[in-house]
Structure 1
Amino acid sequence: MTDWTAPDAVDCADQQTFEALLDRAETREKGHYFEFFGEGDELRHDPGLRLSVHGNERWMGQTLNHDPAYWRPDTARERGFAEPPTHPDYLLACVMGITVEDLSEKGGYFLGRTNVEFHRTAYPGTELDVTSTVLDTRSSSSRPSYGIVTWESVGRDRQTGERLVSYERTNMIPRREPAATDGSGTVANGDPADEDGPDLPPRLLAPDGEYFEQFRDALERARDSDAAVAYRHERGRTMDDALVSGLPLSTLNTARQHHNRDAMADSPSGDIVAYGDVTRSIALAHARSDEATYRERRFEDERFHDFVTLGDTVSGFTRVLDCDGDAGPDHAGEVTFEHVAFNQNNTPVYSGRRTALVRRHQ
């Protein structure tokens, strides 16, 4: 039996002593392993978050989303808002950030998100209530240490219970115990290689301006000449500490991937990585700067293809898929885009389909 040393006599600042204490200490864990989740389970996420003017403007300023309707009362009223509303990217990031501690703080790859719908305009001062339901769990044949989980998350106004935004999200989640596997199969978010190479349109067209009619006219010209409407955006944004660490933490996203360099040193990325919603918002900001956006409608098939780390520069590319002049009010038409964010090496890091109302030329 060894002699017990009184706690106040232990020199925790001595490295050898401290390392011995760490070896004995139990870790109070955060987050959940794959085995925790069962299909049909519902989780209510706390704490809720109160949308604020400061948070909204900080998000928009840092990600270059400079639409005046979200800053100035006069422009907001012209768009039919009672006052400057919360930007949908900030709302979505806050709703997802709240879920991280319960769903994905253990780590794992963010594979994608789809069926993103904005049900109601949110304004600063709104208190959020967020729930998630497990839609599916499955094994990863290529990574036995991980499973794959899909959730539906819904952000509501805590006071009224009204839905603000909903989406389906899929992540790889570490297992407590690796699954048995023969290692066959493809990566969960990968596609088989196209041995014949890509099938590209003979030429690309760009719209002549930012309004609905110009997107529609470009799409009609493209269809008549076997072309596609696709273009890149001039702006790029280099990822700095404010984007990679600051913005996620301001939305209560506590995932270590975004702020703990020590924990990420031996990870595949080798460094802290950007919150997917920050990367996405920057890419969408590049696109919105070249269009007369009126309202956001929905997002589909959002995927995150590669790591974005400190010092990477995120640029944007857009393809116009469809225009519907009957789907919106008299002063706007509906446009469906495919957006791609890429880094300084021209490697895609995000892609997704977006449908928005774009103002008509008056």
Structure 2
Amino acid sequence: MSQSSGTARPPGKYFEELPVGAVIRHYVTRTLTEADNVLFTTMTMNPQPLHLDAEYAAQTEFGERLVNSMLTLSLLVGLSVYELTLGTLVANLGFSEISFPKPVKHGDTLRAESEVVARRESGSRPEAGIVTFEHRAFNQRGELVAQCKRSALMQKQPAQKQPVHKEPS
């Protein structure tokens, strides 16, 4: 079925379905591999040896290469898409308060949750509202490894079309 036909409901949540305090625990998890880290790091032109050079990283306090934190952030947001914004997001407006309390290593499996921390009507778009999410990623040991706040312009639920009733002639 075509997404543009308007007959299928997207899996993401509309503005009205996102009250402050709602917590969504995302179903999909992801194990990060060495290949993921090397590909992302080189594609984004980041020459940081902590991500690419095993000999260099072995001499650091971590003793091994770490996953690029921008990959961790991207994965955190990506894990939230299906249950939160797929088909209902108008635009990302910004990210703030990004932190990485623990390093992510090759082989770590991340899970994510999102909390609605603020929301308001859009002043310029009556068909949308602004929602602020706090996204959190945890590794397989339950340790918080990343968090951020994200402001998003979200669609409101479409108005239901009323059936047209014709008067009998």
> CA–CA distance in 2 between the matches of 1:109 and 1:153?
17
Return the offset for 1:108: 1.1
5 Å-filtered alignment, 1:296-307, equals: none
* Cα RMSD for the two superposed structures: 2.1
C-alpha deviations, 1:161-182, integer Å up to 9, x for none?
100011111100011147xxxx
Q: Which residue of 1 aligns with 2:119?
A: 137
> CA–CA distance in 1 between the matches of 2:70 and 2:142?
21
Return the offset for 1:26: 4.3
Q: Of 71, 76, 100, which residue of structure 2 is paired with 1:95?
A: 76
Structure 1 gap segments, 5+ residues each = 1-17, 179-362
Equivalent pairs counted in the alignment come to 157
Native 8 Å contact 1:104 1:171 kept in 2: no
Q: Which residue of 2 aligns with 1:125?
A: 107
Which amino acid is the alignment partner of residue 37 of structure 1? L
5 Å-filtered alignment, 1:129-278, equals: 129-157=111-139, 159-177=140-158
> CA–CA distance in 1 between the matches of 2:94 and 2:146?
16
Q: Does 1:57 align with 2:38?
A: yes
Native 8 Å contact 2:11 2:84 kept in 1: no
Return the offset for 1:78: 2.3
Which amino acid is the alignment partner of residue 127 of structure 2? S
Return the offset for 1:29: 2.4
Native 8 Å contact 2:121 2:130 kept in 1: yes
Return the offset for 1:64: 0.3
Return the offset for 1:28: 4.9
Which amino acid is the alignment partner of residue 164 of structure 1? V
Q: Larger Cα Rg: Structure 1 or Structure 2?
A: 1
Give the TM-score normalised by the residue count of structure 2: 0.86
Q: Which residue of 1 aligns with 2:167?
A: none
Give the TM-score normalised by the residue count of structure 1: 0.41
* RCO higher in structure (CA 8 A, sep ≥6): 2
Native 8 Å contact 1:76 1:83 kept in 2: yes
> CA–CA distance in 2 between the matches of 1:144 and 1:170?
17
Q: Which residue of 1 aligns with 2:53?
A: 72
Native 8 Å contact 1:52 1:124 kept in 2: yes
> CA–CA distance in 1 between the matches of 2:60 and 2:45?
20
> CA–CA distance in 2 between the matches of 1:130 and 1:154?
6
Structure 2 gap segments, 5+ residues each = 160-169
Return the offset for 1:31: 1.1
Native 8 Å contact 2:90 2:152 kept in 1: yes
Equivalent position SS for 2:30: coil
